[in-house]
Amino acid sequence: MTTAVQADPVVSTPYGAVRGRYEQGIAVFRGIPYAAPPFGPRRFRPPVPPEPWDGVRDAGAFGPTPPKPPYSEAFEKYLSDPVIPGDDCLNLNVWTPEPGPAARLPVLVWFHGGALTRGSSAVPVYDGSAFARDGVILVSVNYRLGVEGYGLFPDAPANPGLRDQLAALRWVRESIPAFGGDPDRVTLAGQSAGAISIGALLAAPQAQGLVRRAVLQSGPPEAFERDKVRRMVRRMATRLKIPATAAAFAEVDRELLLRTQADVGRLSSPVLGGPSFGIVVDGDLVPRDPLEALVEGDAAKGVDLMLGWTSEEYRLWLVPGGLLERVDRLGPVAVAGAMARCRCGTEVPRGYRALHPEAGTAELVGQMVTDHLLRLPLHRLADARADTSYVYEFAWPSGLPGLGSCHALELGFVFDSGDAPESRKLAGEGAPHELADAMHGAWVRFATEGDPGWQRWDATHPVRIFDAGEPRVAHGPRDAELALWTADTAKPPQPTPASIQPAGPLARGAELRSVVRRLRLPGSVRRD
């Protein structure tokens, strides 16, 4: 008796047909271009549509990844970041259970994290098979990174990496029906830098109507100060001995540019800041600060939101390379650095110490900075959009020493890809399958129905806690800490007392630089 062989799936896009592969009953298409290669005359420019092709294009393998430096040795122990060479790096992947226009399935578009300098859609943790298995089409996207995507130049438009993401969303709107998707049920989801990007797109006038729902995991809507990004470009230009212009940077060998970027960004850290790339207000795609636009304006009205974080985000930033122990040893110096980083008065660290008397310095500093950069703005967003918002916290601790419930740990549970070796690099062995069922199931329900399965945000601040055992709802679990920031903003600036002041009459900026130098950060990243 012979067994019928299932023919490879073929789908037509506006630029040509693509042939994917069936993998365990799921049709998978990889490396589909949504924009032309961003090099040559298109370097540092907004994306343009790809050239149409004749015949059927093979979509059986991941496409090229955008140029990026490798993680430092301290971080590559925990984070995977494959490199696939080639110029055609503005591509995306689709996992679908039912190709064809009749299906009308919900769609989840995934933007990866990596501090806007690293990461790609080819990371095995982001395999979309489980979403497709459960009736949600998964689309994962590559976009320009680092100086290629977020360099700020006088002779080129700002935010080309964000413009790539907008182009991918437009591709989804136009193309996804042929893959079985409903263009009116698109959920935009991302983690860390991906979530920051989503915040900007939700507020962007050009993206209105492209998204029905959004998930922001471990990343708030924000815009960087333009001068901070300019300084990053100028430092690179000084190292390269060229003008700080897009025309000059376009003449530099890509590998040399990546090495220079990595070297200049070596001291960047979420806890202590440092030079880094970010989305900036550009008067066009990002007309104003995204958080303020979403909290105060009409942008993305009616878009359902799911907002989340992990309990100990900071541990991924401090555990690699022994930074946790170094921060603990620095004691008051590190606290002063955190105050400079967060621009807060002394009442904030005093309040955290009173709430957590047993915490070490690194935990105190890490939670302070996490709350300031991440939880406080997400709380503001939820308060402003309470009628459409759900909030959660991932609290399960990794099986690996010191990591706790760190940044990015939840991703293997979201994608139900915990059996992949790349997921175990963060989670360790024996991650609970029932937790993956709960976490992944919540994302599937949200993408499908707009309701992940718990109470919508209100004045009681309900937060779904994902940990070992049955998920539960806690009301206001971070309210006491976050209230310290509200109280601090109502007070005039106060001098740093001697009890937490580093030796010498240092200004806040100098304090921060001193802390960074003492830590000797081993190629850390701002967000992952």
Select which of 407, 422, 461, 481 is catalytic: 407
Select which of 120, 121, 129, 192 is catalytic: 192
Rounded CA gap, 173 and 276, in Å?
Answer: 32
Select which of 313, 363, 410, 511 is catalytic: 313
What's the chain's Rg over C-alpha atoms?
23
Alpha helices in 304-375 (DSSP H): 314-318, 323-330, 332-342, 347-355, 361-370
* DSSP code for 374: I
Asked if residues 54 and 107 have their Cβ atoms less than 8 Å apart, the reply is: no
Residue with tokens 């591509």: 91
Asked if residues 80 and 140 have their Cβ atoms less than 8 Å apart, the reply is: no
Pick the closest to residue 436 from 411, 407, 457 (CA basis): 411
The single-letter code of the amino acid at 376 is L
Rounded CA gap, 219 and 241, in Å?
Answer: 35
Strand-strand pairing, 16-19 and 56-58? parallel
Rounded CA gap, 313 and 117, in Å?
Answer: 19
Cα distances from 86 to residues 163, 254, 290, in angstroms, run 20, 12, 33
Classify the C-alpha dihedral 370-376-378-379 as positive or negative.
Answer: positive
Rounded CA gap, 370 and 427, in Å?
Answer: 21
Judge whether 407 counts as a catalytic residue.
yes
Judge whether 192 counts as a catalytic residue.
yes
Cα distances from 122 to residues 31, 125, 290, 349, 393, in angstroms, run 9, 9, 28, 40, 26
* Cβ neighbours around 167 below 10 Å, total: 21
Counting Cα atoms < 13 Å in the Cβ hemisphere of 7 gives: 5
Strand-strand pairing, 213-217 and 181-191? parallel
Asked if residues 136 and 447 have their Cβ atoms less than 8 Å apart, the reply is: yes
Q: What are phi and psi of 12, to 5 degrees?
A: -95, 135
Structure-token pair, residue 332? 């008051």
Asked if residues 454 and 390 have their Cβ atoms less than 8 Å apart, the reply is: yes
Cα distances from 231 to residues 40, 153, 227, 275, in angstroms, run 25, 11, 6, 7
Number of H helices, E strands in the chain: 20, 14
Cα distances from 121 to residues 32, 146, 160, in angstroms, run 12, 16, 18
Number of residues that this document lists for the chain? 528
The single-letter code of the amino acid at 67 is P
Residue with tokens 């490879």: 8
Cα distances from 446 to residues 108, 366, 453, in angstroms, run 10, 30, 8
Known catalytic residues are 192, 313, 407
